Amino acid sequence: MRTRYVLGTVLTLVLAIALVGCGGAAKQADTIKIGWFGPLTGDTALWGQAELNSVKMMIDDYNAAGGIKVGSKTYKLEVIGYDDKGDSTEAVNVAKRLSSQDHVVAIVGPQGSGEAIPVAPILAAAKVPYVASTATNPKVTVTESGAVNQYSFRACFTDPYQGKVAAYFAYQKLEKRNAAIFMTVDDSYSAGLAQYFKESFEKLGGKIVAEVSFTAGEKDFRAPLTKIKAANPDIIFMPNYYTDVALSAKQARDLGINQVLLGGDGWPSENLISLAGNALEGSMFINHLDFDGDIAKPFRDEYKAKYGKVAELNSYMIHDALLMVIDAIQRSGSLDGEKIKNALETCDIEGVTGHIKIGPTHDPVGKDAWLIKIIGPNMVFQEKFAAKD
């Protein structure tokens, strides 16, 4: 009797999988599906959630205005979003799902370089272009051998540029000569940014007195920080994500390390200052825009009104990524992946994060870097900085 019961359950389950699996997505004739993926769980979930919120909000706005016109037809928009858990293997999985199962015409995101890089060959094979939001590692669009990933684009500047800006700012503007680097060794973004900072800083004549790293997930930074203290730098470059930045800054201050800290675009977050207390007072970081500026204001207000939270950096970046995609779809007059990809290659628009003109490597050319200083509980815009030789 019991064996039959087990058999029955088993068969039902197998059948269920088959049915659900083969069901597939019923294609609606006048809806354009845009894919999104990013971290909805994990350390950077805050940003992933912010991105998805922004995309949904923008899509609602477009649909409320009647949809978008492509060629002679008007389409509604729909977003299909998945959690990549901040994990590369998971990103590959969801990229496959979005392209071959959900049949999206384009994808906005991901945000992490670690996720944006491995999906390049998959989305290229499926002919689905994607515009990464904050993935700054150069390998997202250009492979090690120098070939451009045909279907990969991004809305942000790249790490070589960001590292250069940081180095030039520290050397020329802040007049520091001895820098220490404190990075996350197993993160492409952090390690890449650190490498470019080092190259530029040394080229200017500066000296890197200590180069110390930790692994993601680490919470006690005292041992490596002590090494930095012993090297006595003028400034400490910390190209890490905000949770680690807050914690390491606190621990640094507790060790008596009082130098100014400099960081990249992994810093900006609403939680950064609440987690760090006053450990980041006077420290600075590079951002993609001025949060409190006029260009961003309408979006910022709408986001706050709709979600009750302050928009994160990623909200603005994904906003521009989506603008790029929609612009490309409309200019190409088609829903064909290859045509949209071609249109993206000549993208030249104004977003909330500045002027975005796509260059030959599928990256925006000459995008502004904004220097922000932490004063009290606020992130105060200092200046736009361009690295000039």
Question: Contacts with other proteins in 216-255 (CB under 8 A)?
Answer: 217-220, 222-224, 226-227, 229-230, 243, 246-247, 250, 253-255
Residue 185 in contact with other proteins, rule: CB under 8 A:
yes
- The one-letter amino acid code at 145 reads S
Judged by CB under 8 A, which stretch of 82-90, 127-135, 315-323, 326-334 contacts other proteins?
A: 82-90
Choose the binding region for other proteins from 26-34, 35-43, 316-324, 344-352 (rule: CB under 8 A).
35-43
Q: Which stretch binds other proteins (CB under 8 A): 9-17, 259-267, 344-352, 369-377?
A: 9-17
User: What is the spatial distance between Cα 227 and Cα 234, in angstroms, rounded to a whole number?
Assistant: 14
How far does Cα 3 stand from its chain's mean position?
A: 52
- Of these, 8, 66, 71, 277, which contacts other proteins (CB under 8 A)? 277
Give CA–CA dist 184/212, Å, rounded.
9
Q: Which residues pair with 68 in a beta bridge?
A: 75
- The count of chain residues that interact with other proteins, using the rule CB under 8 A, is 71
Question: What is the number of other CB atoms lying within 10 angstroms of the CB of residue 289?
Answer: 25
**128 near other proteins (CB under 8 A):** no
Q: Between 221 and 299, whose beta carbon lies closer to other proteins?
A: 221
278 near other proteins (CB under 8 A): yes
Binding residue (CB under 8 A) for other proteins from 68, 92, 148, 335: 92
Could you say which of 101, 172, 232, 378 contacts other proteins (CB under 8 A)?
A: 101
Minimal distance in Å, beta carbon 16 to other proteins? 8
β 31-38/73-83 pair status = parallel
Q: Is 187 in the site for other proteins (CB under 8 A)?
A: yes
Which of 74, 232, 271, 378 is close enough to bind other proteins by CB under 8 A?
A: 271
Two structure tokens written together for 367: 């995008």
Nearer Cβ to other proteins (18/174):
18
The SS3 call for residue 260 is: strand
23-37 exposure pattern, b = at least 16 Cβ within 10 A, e = fewer:
eeeeeeeeebbbbbb
Q: Quick one: 251 or 332, whose CB is closer to other proteins? A: 251
The residue with tokens 């802040």 is 174
CB-count burial class (<10 Å; 0-12, 13-18, 19+) for 240? buried
For residues 246 and 278, the answer to whether their CB atoms sit within 8 Å is no
Among 56, 76, 97, 309, binds other proteins (CB under 8 A): 97
Nearer to other proteins, 47 or 303 (CB): 47
- 78 interacts with other proteins by CB under 8 A: no
* Cβ 62 vs Cβ 77: under 8 Å: yes
Rounded CA gap, 311 and 288, in Å? Answer: 14
Q: Which two tokens stand for residue 309?
A: 């939270």
Tell me: does residue 347 bind other proteins (CB under 8 A): no
| Beta-strand relationship, 235-238 and 260-263 | parallel
The dihedrals phi and psi of 40, each to the nearest 5 degrees, come to -100, -10
Structure tokens at 282: 């006077």
Least spacing, CB of residue 73 vs other proteins, in Å: 27
- Determine, following the binding rule CB under 8 A, whether residue 13 of this chain makes contact with other proteins: yes
| Residue 26 contacts other proteins per CB under 8 A | no
330 lines the binding site for other proteins (CB under 8 A): no
Tell which one of 63, 178, 186, 330 touches other proteins (CB under 8 A).
186
Q: Does 377 bind other proteins (CB under 8 A)?
A: no
- Per CB under 8 A, the list member of 42, 76, 330, 334 interacting with other proteins is 42
Q: Around Cβ 143, how many Cβ atoms within 10 Å?
A: 15
Residue 208 touches other proteins, criterion: CB under 8 A: no
Within 141-160, which residues bind other proteins (CB under 8 A)?
143
What whole-number distance in Å separates Cα of residue 193 and Cα of residue 175?
20
